[in-house]
A and B are shown apart, each in its own frame.
Chain A
Amino acid sequence: MNNIDARTHVRGASVYLDDIPLINGTLFGAAFGSPVAHGRVNSLDVAAAAQMPGVVRVFTYKDITGENQIGGIIPDEPLFAEQETHFCGMPLAFVVATSVDAARAAVKKIQADITPLPVITDPREAQAKGELIIPPRTFRLGDTANAWQQCAHIFEGRADTNGQEHLYIETQGAYAVPQENEVIRIYSSTQGPTAVQRAVSKALGLPMHQLDVEVTRLGGGFGGKEDQANTWAALCALAAHHLKKPVKYALHRMEDIAMTGKRHPYSSDFKIGLDADLKIIAYEVTFYQNAGAAADLSPAVLERTLFHCTNSYFIPHVTATAYSCRTHLPPNTAFRGFGGPQGMFVIEAAIAKAATALGVPASAIQQQNLHHTGDTFPYGQLAQSEAPACWQKAEELYDAAAIRQSIHDFNVANTLYKKGMAFMPVCFGISFTKTLMNQARALVHVYTDGSVSISTGAVEMGQGVNTKILQVAARAFSIPPERIRIQPTSTFRIANTSPSAASATADLNGKATWMACQAIMERLKQVAAEALQTDTAAITLQDEQVFVHGKASGWDWKKLLMAAYVKRVNLSEHAHYATPGIHFDTSREKGHPFAYHVYGAAIVEVTVDCLRGTYTIDAVKVVHDYGASMNPAIDQGQMEGGIVQGIGWMTMEEVIYDAEGRLRSNALSTYKVPDIYAVPKTIQLQALDTRQDNLAIFRSKAVGEPPLMYGIGAWFALRDAILAFHPAADIPFSAPMTPEKVLMALYSKNGTPAPHAKTVDHLAVDK
């Protein structure tokens, strides 16, 4: 079944935040962000701005009617800066005017006198100075201290991954519309309507039942709108609350890029020990997470880095420590993979380093150490492993030996170009790692005309969750999809929702929907059984027909509904689902945090132009554990999109801050995401259908985040190709592997490190 939004999408008729028809009298906002990353605010002069034509009012922290606080996990993030600024772009003021142009023009008239304070952009520096968001956390398995003696080979190193801009094509935004009695309806481009509701409630001092946050769809989210939609909603709601007028703010791209957090950059140290048979015996890793200026979701992201620090491998002795380091960058936030990819990159780097030093292909170490069912993760959960099955199937199906041989032959025959390959296994845990968030509710109404209306907490952002929920209801009631409508997500219809994140939205909201539909079905069957004088167990519904012991009864869906209504039977249900069996004890860092894991293995092939340092990604060939896909078209789209987004992170997407904490890659002209020519020439996907039961909806495993991590293979395939050209090349484990880094590595002198791409200190020459 195709995405239910696809028809309006291709006609340009789908409505996003900026497309909502304006109510008369709507005002427009624009935020003034701090030009200084870290500084003491001596004065803020908004008088000139306030006098600009069209300006209605300029808001600062003094106008906040509740608490100046929008932090989610930790209350450490003011909506407006007061005496201190903590990152460039931190809102100091919010101009509201009669037009967008007037608001933006007025923002330019605001003068802030800020004394600069020392700026930290490097997480290691922050850690050394004790600037931590939360105390460090350590996951332990076995005893690494004593395990090194058992190792024949020990390697140490450092690995760095840069951030990643979400670059949802629809920028952030909100539109707050006052209703009577101090109720505010807020249209928000958010993955977390409840997060917005809470943040606005706190900032305005209004109870949550007065705040209706409504979301029809997002033009992309990828984690960037999980917590970071709060600011704009709170600004608009605050202004609307004061002015009793609708207030809208759809961010300009440069505002969005400059003022919002990104995927967390990480710097890490690793130490890996192997025995003579290439079994990994011990692994120690320390992660320095660049959290930015406030907690945002960093503690949760940090936790997932630890959960995935051994990727698909069983290592008997592991010590993994993680620091969430406070710097003066915009608060970094959720991004597809949520810390997992950062953890996986480091173990893959450690394996690659060992393999190169030992003169074996990395895949020899990777395959040897894949975990099996029953093996223990460092956090105590036992694996129900598909890792060896995925790997083996990929190796056979795509004939990895033949690929390796053809690459070898090509490299022998060619000087200008070299090819490389890498295996990338993936194991990703599904569930919010914070157990309490694994709950969802669905509200299902069946109308007497046979149509069905469904509300859940899920937010549609292109991942197809609404389509999957519709499929759930269609299957539960055995009615055609046309009868079902998924309503916009609203905090007045569904309360206390978890954000659409963690790949778990379809599972959680789908299961709640299934439960609600089942409850209604039970009542309908009772009505049918009574009317047809049989047991409810004898009643089945199929294709809108009522059957008794498998025989058509002559009753259909509509007749049954009307009969139920006449008998005053409830045709609505609000169901609650909470994932069973999951728990985690942070005092011991042990438990069973995930409902299940998703597995896969990819082979990535690349070609490097050794003259120019440019490259192409030739193929990504994957065997992926879908469980049993309930929507192959949507899941294929998630796979292809995730792979390309992961390759983007690992290759061309380069977030650049200067030493003063100013973003230099601040537009699409300086921050490059894959275009249609940058994607792999071939993406081949093969399902590993598994029989085991799991906690996914209809056994269809979550598919949102896992494929992103196949992209990590691109980095290691490029490394492989560079080494084919220059076997002693110095290639720091530093992502992304831009054409610059490739060229510098290709021509690095033996034994001396190539010059690193350093933080730039100039504005881009052009644009």
Chain B
Amino acid sequence: MITFILNSNTIHTDMPPGMLLLDFIRYHQHLTGTKTGCNEGDCGACTVLMGTLNNNALQYRSFTSCLTPLGNVHGRHVVTIEGINPEEGLNPIQQAMYAESATQCGFCTPGFVMSLAGFCLGHRPATAEQAIAAVDGNICRCTGYKSIERAAAKVAQLLAQRGDAAAVDFAVEQHLVPAWFAGIRERLRALQLSANGEFEPADDVQAHYVGGGTDVYVQKPEEMKLQAIRFLFDQPPLNGIAREGDRCVLGPAVTVTDLLESPLIQQYFPRFPAYARLVSSTPIRNMATIGGNFINASPIGDFTIFFLALDAMLVLSNGRSSRELPLRTLYKGYKTLDKAPEEYIAQVWFTLPGAGQQFHFEKVSKRTHLDIASVNSAISLTLDGDAIKEVRISAGGVGPVPMLLEKTAAFLQGQPLRETLVQAAIAIAQTEIAPISDARGTAEYKRLLLGQLIKAHFITLCPQLQAAAMLNHEQY
């Protein structure tokens, strides 16, 4: 039995835990404001909010309900557009959208409203940029977004008055959400106590592991519906980002948003927000887990590439025993892993960058945001004066697995840093990779692009290099 709060109603349902939240909302609860657009988390028409109690604090994040299994909402608060509608008229978010003519055909509109509602219930700074960032997962085909930008700016303006008030309290006071939201925290607490153990996730060895669901529900939603599933998303032992000595220890269920909000990550990777912006969208970042990104084994998984350059280690467990494995040895071939079916990632750790160690991530896709990479790459670079002391470069989209460019790194090791050295390293990298032509680009493009991204790494990290000298079109 899955129990959760849907808008203001407590739901107990026997529907299969693997079924999609979107279908449950639309076809079982007949709440048709949540729309079906793409079934793969790429349009945001199905956006809902998910409220979770974390250390007694109520936290709301936006989710795409088309990739969310019902099992992942157990014990939480799910909010659809119907849940934020005032009884009469429009709330201030809706009023802003209305006044700015930010809706045309209207089909994507509830998704935009929900994403903005998520912004209002979250803790990001009340700026127009942040409000716009909140709708980075919503596609509109009619408006050209300029009117939506204007509406988002209005919402941010309203939110700027929040000061130190708690997000939910302020939202209730401003009628951004109905008054009953004030009671949700208590209701969720009571629900968690009573629901504890009520929903028993599948325990058999055949069970499918599901994290955020953002990949498996794109690949095979029909199969997943009736699968026995072990839900790994947001399970306390699999969560958390902590420092242990010189290590950063991560639970595999850590989401991209968790990384983004982690003070430790912010301290060691000051450019992380810029990297994260290149990765999927707000709702997907709220759902997608790093463990899922590793196990999915996509050759262009952004966080696989990120953590490869950090030489991350995995702790794999089968429930009885565990073993340690470097991420770089996990991939045996296209979507083939050094992992037994019953094994799951119990922990991820990496050594925090030391003094002088620099890190950078690059990604180019057809569309800069909310797209899958044509090629991505990360670098970890330590210089000793003029010489390269240590370097790791990872590359995605250039072979059947996410790669560490080991020959390239070996070539660079100990060499004095020069523009010509980078060019020579790119030539070595070309011998290590085997890109194919596909919808994300031709093989020759990916070869050229990887070289450019390697240049971008060095240009970004090493201001002593002459960028212009590395950009000569004659040299290709």
Contacts and interface: CB of A to CB of B under 8 A. Distances in A.
B299 A765 contact: yes
Nearest to B475: A747
Contacts of A223: none
A17 B18 CA distance: 26
B143 A613 contact: no
A642 B145 CA distance: 11
A757 B444 CA distance: 9
B136 A677 contact: yes
A9 B103 contact: yes
A415 B467 contact: yes
22 contacts: A12-B32, A12-B81, A12-B85, A18-B36, A21-B30, A104-B222, A169-B108, A221-B105, A462-B106, A610-B471, A611-B471, A633-B101, A637-B143, A668-B42, A675-B367, A739-B365, A747-B448, A749-B476, A757-B441, A760-B437, A761-B437, A765-B298
Contacts of B26: 18
A747 B472 CA distance: 8
A43 to B, nearest CB: 26
A558 interface: no
A253 B222 contact: no
Chain A's interface: helix, strand, loop or mixed, by majority? loop
B240 interface: no
Interface string A410-453: 00000110000000000000000000000000000000000000
Contact of B143 (A641, A678, A767): A641
B471 A676 contact: no
B448 A762 contact: no
A220 B107 contact: yes
Interface stretch (B323-331, B370-378, B379-387): B370-378
Contacts of B98: 2, 6-7, 10
Interface stretch (B118-126, B170-178, B197-205, B450-458): B450-458
Interface in B114-146: 132, 135-136, 138-146
Given A12-B81, A674-B367, A760-B439, A612 B101 contact: no
Contacts of B436: 762, 765
B107 A16 contact: yes
Interface residues of B, number: 91
Contacts of B438: 664, 760, 762-765
Contact of A677 (B369, B372, B468): B369
A250 B149 CA distance: 31
Contacts of A760: 437-439, 442
A455 interface: no
A168 B132 contact: no
A63 B277 CA distance: 53
Given A169-B139, A170-B105, A766-B299, A101 B225 contact: yes
Nearest to B83: A12
Contact of B101 (A12, A636, A645): A636
A762 B437 contact: yes
Contact of B106 (A5, A750, A762, A763): A5
B473 A725 contact: yes
Interface string A16-60: 101101000000000000000000000000000000000000000
Given A105-B222, A415-B468, A664-B439, A739 B364 contact: yes
B141 A612 contact: no
A8 interface: yes
A637 B104 contact: yes
Given A250-B36, A669-B218, A766-B298, 18 more contacts: A9-B106, A10-B90, A10-B109, A11-B85, A12-B110, A219-B106, A254-B39, A416-B471, A611-B459, A668-B43, A669-B40, A669-B372, A672-B367, A672-B371, A676-B132, A678-B369, A743-B452, A748-B476
Interface of A: 2-3, 5-16, 18-19, 21, 101, 104-105, 166-171, 217-222, 250, 252-254, 415-416, 461-464, 610-614, 633-634, 636-637, 639-645, 652, 654, 656, 664-665, 667-670, 672-679, 683, 725-726, 729, 738-740, 743-744, 746-750, 755, 757-758, 760-767
A483 to B, nearest CB: 20
A679 B146 contact: yes
B388 interface: no
B334 to A, nearest CB: 8
Interface string B74-104: 0000001110010000100110011101011
Given A11-B81, A678-B367, A169 B449 contact: no
Most buried by B among A10, A220, A613, A633: A10
Nearest to B134: A676
A260 B148 CA distance: 29
A637 B438 CA distance: 35
B32 A19 contact: yes
